[in-house]
Structure formats: structure tokens, C-alpha cells
Structure 1
Amino acid sequence: MVKRQAYQPILITDAARSQDDQLTSRQRRYVLMMGIRVACIVAGAILVGAQAPMLWLWLPLCALGMVLIPWLAVLLANDRPPKDEHRLANKFHHQQRDETPPMSITAEERPHRVIDADL
């Protein structure tokens, strides 16, 4: 016979962020990275105009930033957090195999309150 754990409710701290919060965070990250790209372009133009020493080093670094940052910005802007089944799989990964997760209790076995509107 398999021993079942007592029902444990899901904590609000385990809840996923809302879609709007995720989108806003990704948009801010994208704008920040594009700002860094613009700074690379401006810095490259200033270095060329001022004929700075070690231009052979600084100009390729600025060009690398101008090329790689947009690619990374798009990848990170389209990145989403893992789906719930992956989060829960990692959470219960360290449990022993014979233990069942707390959500495996059927609805009939869970404690519940009855709210009667006729009071």
C-alpha cells in the first residue's frame, strides 16, 4: 500500500509571473540591449573621428557589439520561463520515488469547505 502525504496547498510564491509582467520584463531587457548597441555605434564613430590610439582593438570590439547584441536581444526577448510541468518536475526531482507528490490526492480525499448561501 502506498502511503500518501497530506494535502499541501500551492504557495503564492510558487505561482508563475503573469503574462503582462513577463512581456514587460522582456521589453525592458530588449530596449536596454538596443541602448547598449547604440552606445557601441556612437563610441565607434567617436573613436574613428578622434583617431584614438589602439583603434585596431576598439573598433572591432564596437563592431562585435553592434552585430552580436541585436541577435542576443531578440533571443532573450523571445525567451519565456519554463512551463509548469518542467518547474514541478524539478521541484519533486529530489523526492524519493515511492513518495507521491501532494497534488496526487484525488478531489474527494482533499479537505474542503462547504459554503452554504442559505444561512
Structure 2
Amino acid sequence: MATARSEGKPVLITSAEKSQDEQLHDRKVRYVLLMGTRVVLLIVATVLVMAEAPLLWVWIPLCVAGGALLPWVAVLVANDRPPKEQHRMRSWLRRTPSPDDPRALTQREHQVVDPDE
């Protein structure tokens, strides 16, 4: 029986993070989507002004506010990376050892001696 490695297929590693290239691509896509939304808001504002839509005094400030805030949000989202997953060893190291375990001696509290007392 042939294994996945001998057939040339990649082995699935479930705890591995996305590659840097995949993370960069995802951030670029989010940035383009947000900036595309900004362009849509600009077009909507232009159409509303040209059509002299009712409640124009409400719609134009909303479009302008969205157009002003979206670049800031887009940059924050584009520069954000996915959160790092907790390392598996941390939970193992935080586990309280049994009293018979030699590591238990190093983890008990030490008495602090103050020279001024």
C-alpha cells in the first residue's frame, strides 16, 4: 500500500498556519473589497446628487463618512494578520505535576527573606 508521501501528495498538517503568501493574498483581497466599497459609495453619492434624491442631506453625509472612514479601516484590516494559535507545549507545561514528580520541587513557592525585618 502506497503512502501519501510516496505518491507525491502533500501531507496534511492541521495545526500549520497559512503560508505568508496566502496571508498576503487574503489581506490584499480584503483591502480591494473595502476600497471597492468606497468607490461604490462615491458613485452612489454622485447618482444621488444628480438625481436630486429626497433626503439628500442624510445620504450624502453617510456616503462621505463611509468614503472617509473606509480607507482607514482598509489599511488596518490589510495590515492585520491572523492571530497566532496557542502552542501545544504551553498547555502541557502549565499542567500541575504530581507531588512525586521531580519537577514539582522547582514549582513550589519559595520563602522570601527581607533583610530589613
TM-score range, shorter chain: 0.5 to 0.7
Q: Which residue of 1 is the match for residue 86 of structure 2?
A: 88
Q: Which residue of 2 is the match for residue 28 of structure 1?
A: 29
**Whole-Å separation in 2 of the counterparts to 1:42 and 1:80:** 31
Residues 80 and 37 of structure 1: is their aligned pair in 2 closer, same or farther, counting only changes over 3 Å? same
**Whole-Å separation in 2 of the counterparts to 1:90 and 1:42:** 50
Q: SS of the counterpart of 1:80?
A: coil
**Whole-Å separation in 1 of the counterparts to 2:52 and 2:37:** 22
Give the counterpart letter for 1:97 in structure 2. R
**Whole-Å separation in 2 of the counterparts to 1:92 and 1:52:** 60
Runs of 4+ in 1 over 4 A off after TM superposition: 89-93
Matches within 5 A, 1:63-82: 63-82=64-83
**Whole-Å separation in 1 of the counterparts to 2:88 and 2:80:** 19
**Whole-Å separation in 2 of the counterparts to 1:34 and 1:55:** 23
Deviation at 1:82, TM superposition (A): 2.8
- The two structures have a TM-score, normalised by structure 1, of 0.63
Deviation at 1:81, TM superposition (A): 1.9
Deviation at 1:96, TM superposition (A): 6.5
- The two structures have a TM-score, normalised by structure 2, of 0.64
Q: What stretches of structure 1 of length at least 5 have no aligned partner?
A: 1-10, 100-119
Residues 36 and 90 of structure 1: is their aligned pair in 2 closer, same or farther, counting only changes over 3 Å? farther
Matches within 5 A, 1:2-81: 12-81=13-82
**Whole-Å separation in 1 of the counterparts to 2:49 and 2:88:** 51
Q: What stretches of structure 2 of length at least 5 have no aligned partner?
A: 1-11, 98-117
Q: Looking at both structures, which has the greater relative contact order when contacts are Cα pairs under 8 Å and sequence separation is at least 6?
A: 1
Residues 90 and 74 of structure 1: is their aligned pair in 2 closer, same or farther, counting only changes over 3 Å? farther
Deviation at 1:97, TM superposition (A): 3.1
Q: Which residue of 2 is the match for residue 109 of structure 1?
A: none
